[in-house]
Amino acid sequence: MAGHSHWANIAAKKGVIDKKRGKLFGKLSRAIIVAAQHGGGDPAMNLALRYAIDKARKASMPKENIDRAVKKGCGELTGEKFEELVYEGYGAAGVAVLCDILTENRNRTAGEIRKIFEVHGGNLGSTGCVAWMFERKGLFLVPTENVVEDELFEIALEAGADDVSANGDVFEVTCSVESFQHVSEEFENRKIPTNLAEISRIPANTVDLGVNDGKKVLKLMEALEDHDDVQSVTANFNIPDEIMAEVIAD
């Protein structure tokens, strides 16, 4: 899981999320719209909608924006119809990259995503070329300074988590997609803060990167994250701690 947790921590350190809060709200709105389209507007009966709304609230998205997105998804307000896609490709050093997409125009999006890969030394691949390397799981990053490992381990496993491991200044907690909501609620009830709490794609294996390839991959990740149609990006890279500072210096 190093690729995803590395990117989450790097994005936070570089201020990527805060700089793009307006863009983030747009992406969260799309997720809410699509969830409501598929399963209705009641989050108690629609877990995908509940997850999307919880994620929006944690990002401090205004309630009126959330309500408007639900109404669009339910057809009470006019809005675009979004299609869910997964784009797969490769970055520098053969790093596998997955992009979760919500778009109203797949042809436009495909061309733009292909161009981003090419500009940053990668290439967009065919369906299924790298997806087999990843497994969908719930992922939480808990700052080590805020919790004792033994206590976190006990709470997480009792809530349904599969594993807890230390990775630098965070603990990584993983769980099944089905257990995600329960683990999330338990952490909230116990007032355990998280840097990240989401359903993610976890790589089975990772590629260690040096400085040059590390910089290329991070620029690719940032460019993909910046695209309006991209909901999330994950990859199977690992940047050793001893070269991390040099890689993120730009």
Residues of the domain holding 43: 2-73
Q: How far is 191 from 193, CA to CA, in rounded Å?
A: 6
pTM above 0.85, yes or no: yes
Q: What does the pLDDT look like over 109-151, one tens digit per residue?
A: 999 999 999 999 999 999 999 999 999 999 998 999 989 999 9
Domain count, the chain: 1
Residue 55, domain CATH: 1.10.10.200
Q: H-helix or E-strand containing 247?
A: helix 241-247
In a domain, 23, yes or no: yes
In a domain, 105, yes or no: no
Closest CA to 7 of 250, 242, 247, 221: 221
Q: What is the dihedral of CA 247, 164, 90, 249, to 10 degrees?
A: -10
Q: What does the pLDDT look like over 89-102, one tens digit per residue?
A: 999 999 999 999 99
In a domain, 213, yes or no: no
In a domain, 148, yes or no: no
Which parts of the chain are beta strand (E)? 83-90, 96-103, 123-124, 134-143, 161-167, 170-175, 196-203, 207-208, 230-235, 237-238
45, amino acid identity = M
In a domain, 171, yes or no: no
pLDDT score recorded for residue 13: 57
Given a contact cutoff of 8 angstroms between Cβ atoms, the answer to whether 43 and 49 are in contact is yes
In a domain, 50, yes or no: yes
In a domain, 208, yes or no: no
In a domain, 37, yes or no: yes
